[in-house]
Structure 1
Amino acid sequence: MDALDVIMNKDKIIPYFQPIVSADTQLVIGYEVLARIELEDGVKSLGWFFKDHTIPDEYRQEVDEYVCNHALEKFLALEREAKLFINVDMNDILANDGERLIKNLKSFESKGLLLSNIVIEFTEQDFNGDFSLLKHFITYIQSLGIQLAIDDVGKVGSNLDRIALLKPNIVKVDLEFLEGDAFPQLYRDVLYSLSLLTRKIGATLMFEGVGSFNQLNYAWRNGGRYYQGFYLSRPKPTFQEVDFCKDSLKKEFHHFIHYERKKIEAQLVLTEKLGQLLKNSLKKLKSFYNYDDVVMHISKELNEVSFRIYICDHDGYQQSGNAVKGENNLWRLEEGSRYKNWSWRPYFLENIVRMNYERKGLLSDLYTDIEKDEMIRTYSFPINDQLYLFVDIPYNYLFEQDGLI
């Protein structure tokens, strides 16, 4: 099928609607409009048609308006509150300053459409025009009550600074491009940044392309409020019932919460265990003046738990060498990091203050160790008001324990 076939068979083009579900109510809060064409061999997606810029602009705009208008007519007949997500190409929209889109939406407003129920969705990294004009247009449509969703955020090319300046209402992250249920750590770090960004700018984080139980769990664990994907529902020519997956989502959320509770409990148990081990180990020392002796002494007590131990002062300067576990579980002292400053690391100073205030050790989240290039956790423990012990825990130990990965 080519572009001309699509234009010649416009009467066979129909809008499909894929539901978007909210985590807080487990109900459908809106539907994304997707273009489909009904052929003899089945219903086909027209996603390729709108992404192919070798097709004349007027062809794409004609089909886009045809689908959009049919979707809006059906949406007006929907006798309940919901939002309609409409995909646009901002390059095409701003070619005439957005007047064509606004005029079309306002024509439906006169028929009873609430503009506050419309969400304009576009992909920021595909826009190649004047950013200031884009920002101005977005500010204008938001002033009309129309919401904005930025699509495909988190993929290569997304510019978080530009997204922050645009201040969308919804940030959409696609999980579909990930292979199976594998989530690379780099992508997790990007999602963490996105989660912080959406919170800062007051946007809602949405995950699309949710195609499996694990992907739904991943979206839930990473702060997603809205979910969309084949695991929940495939696009349909009709509007899915508002509570179609409420019962199943409640069951899955219960499973997620139970598992996360077990993880938190496991981390608390490890924190308590390490704290007690270190207290007992430090009591055996007659002096703390030789910091290298301290870390080598503790390494014998924590041989099964750690691969690297060192001491820093309250300003972040490392006062000892690194006690490092080598082959055959033999520990050695490495001098390279002595007197380096680690206060630049995220949460370092916050953890120092917390340890002083709470008088107990802290277990970090999972992160990638630069030297080992593997996921680890670090347990930090206050020796006194000036010195702090850091115990790096390897992935293989964490993997063997329930709830620590």
Structure 2
Amino acid sequence: MDALDILTDLENVIPFFQPIFSADEQRVIAYEVLGRYQSEGSIISLGSFFHDDSIPEEYKFEVDQLLVQKALERALKLDDDVSIYLNRDADLLMYRHGEPFLQDLLAFEKRGLNLKRIVLEISEGNYKGDFGQLDHLLQYYRTYGIKVAIASIDSDTNFFERIGQLGPEIIKINLRALKSNATAASFTDVLFSLSLLARKIGATLLFENIEMSYQLQFAWKNGGRYYQGFYLYPPSSEFIERDLLKQRLKGKFHEFITYEKKKLEAIYSAAEFFQNKVQDIIVKNKKANYEVLFTSLIKEMDQIAFRMYVCDEDGFQKSSNMFKGESGWYSQKEYIEKNWSWRPYFLENIIKMRNEGKGILSDLYSDIETGETIRTFSIPINGSDYLFIDISYKYLFENEQLL
């Protein structure tokens, strides 16, 4: 597609709209504007046009400006609580210091468009300019009520840094990575960290490229409030009825909730099982030293655990590690007096166990040494010491509700 063909035929540059659905309302709450070119009965994406570095910025701005004007003209007819997402490459956004773009928006504000409905979706992975100037411009836009979204985490090592710099109201996450088994596990770990960060800064997670049911479930489970993708509804030249998928989404969420409840019940039952089993062994070995206690635990939990140790309430290890290798259990004395209080939730869980007087089964996490996905059961054994038992992935896999 030649750039001149587009520039000399702007009448056939048209906006498409992809609906964004919310988890809380199960209805359309926004549309993302996408550029299309109509040629000989075919609809062609303008993505390659905007990503072509050989095309001068003034040409790109002219086409983008037209798309925005046509899209907002249509958006005037939407309900007042429906947002409009406008994609902007950071370099294009900085064109003429961002003033022409703002003037276009202000012109529509005079016609009744509340600028609080505008979400500026920034794509700046290849931005070579001054981030300070970009941040200043975005803060200026925010004074008019415009929100900022950042997309996305596709293999971008600076993503977390940019979130801290730009402080977006919305973080857009591309679920394309879930299609690959090679990247899915690490993607999940990164997403967990991202969801914690979003919560800290008050940002909302929007998941895009949802193409299958399991991706919608993944987005729902991982704190996604907004969703879009072909599985829900493809980009279209027309707006859709807002409640079109309400019953379907209600049904899907009911499935997700039912599954998650069963999983949580299984985790609760497992915690009770470990509590009763381990507490009984602790009571029987109340006056014994740690080595004797470990011997009794190994007899009962050989097919469940792969590591055991005791720490005091400040996180200093008071015993050796008892570790299950290929040839059986053995002692790792070099771990005595190591401190684990730096681990996330360690002290929080110590206080919880001390106050409640019973054990805790951890969330899933990757073990630092083995790299396997595990859980840890921890339990108080006297006034100041706590027993930690690492549950093997093999056991979790055999009891799949624990994964």
TM-score by length of 2: 0.95
SS of the counterpart of 1:32? strand
Q: State the TM-score, normalized to the length of structure 1.
A: 0.95
Q: CA deviation at 1:73?
A: 0.9
2:273 — aligned with what? 273
User: 2:307 touches 2:323 (CA, 8 Å); kept in 1?
Assistant: yes
Matched-pair contact (CA < 8 Å) for 1:195–1:223: yes
Among all aligned residue pairs of Structure 1 and Structure 2, give the percentage whose two residues are the same amino acid: 47
Per-residue CA deviations over 1:329-379 (Å, capped at 9, x if unaligned) read x32222232221111111111111111001110011111112211101111
On the 8 A contact 2:177/2:183 being kept in 1, the answer is no
1:363 paired residue number: 361
1:2-21 deviation digits (Å, cap 9, x = unpaired): 32232233222211000000
SS at match of 2:162: helix
Match of 2:331 among 330, 333, 351: 333
Shift of 1:114: 1.4
The 5-angstrom pairing of residues 37-56 of structure 1 reads: 37-40=37-40, 42-56=42-56
Q: Does 1:76 align with 2:105?
A: no
Distance 2:233 2:352 in 1: 45
Match of 1:297 in 2: 296
Structure 1 residue 41 displacement after superposition: 6.2
In 1: Cα distance, 2:358 partner to 2:79 partner: 57
1:374 corresponds in structure 2 to 372
Once the two structures are superposed, residues 31-57 of structure 1 have per-residue CA deviations (whole angstroms, 9 ceiling, x without a partner) of: 000011123362121112111222111
Return structure 1 stretches of 4+ with deviation > 6 angstroms.
none
SS in 1 for 2:7: helix
Distance 1:14 1:35 in 2: 6
Q: Which moved more, 1:333-342 or 1:226-235?
A: 333-342
Flag the 1:240–1:177 CA change in 2: closer, same or farther, 3 A.
Answer: farther
SS state at 2:84 partner: strand
Q: Please give the root-mean-square deviation of Cα atoms over the aligned residues, in Å.
A: 1.7
Partner secondary structure for residue 397 of structure 1: helix
| Distance of aligned partners of 1:220 and 1:181 in 2 relative to their CA distance in 1, 3 Å threshold | farther
Change (3 A) 1:183 1:134: same
Deviation at 1:129, TM superposition (A): 1.5
- What letter is aligned with 2:357? R
Q: Which runs of 5+ in 2 are unaligned?
A: none
**Which segment is superposed worse, 228-237 or 104-113?**
104-113
Partner of 2:315: helix, strand, or coil? coil
Partners in 1 of 2:316 and 2:119 — Cα distance? 51
CA distance in 2, matches of 1:274, 1:178: 33
- Number of residue pairs aligned between Structure 1 and Structure 2: 403
Distance, in Å, in 2 between the alignment partners of 1:245 and 1:80 is 20
Q: Please say if 1:232 is aligned against 2:197.
A: no
Give the drift of 1:154.
Answer: 6.0
What's the offset of the Cα at 1:297?
2.3
Q: How many Å separate the matches in 1 of 2:216 and 2:53?
A: 33
Q: Which moved more, 1:155-164 or 1:97-106?
A: 155-164
Question: Counterpart of 1:298 in structure 2: which amino acid?
Answer: L
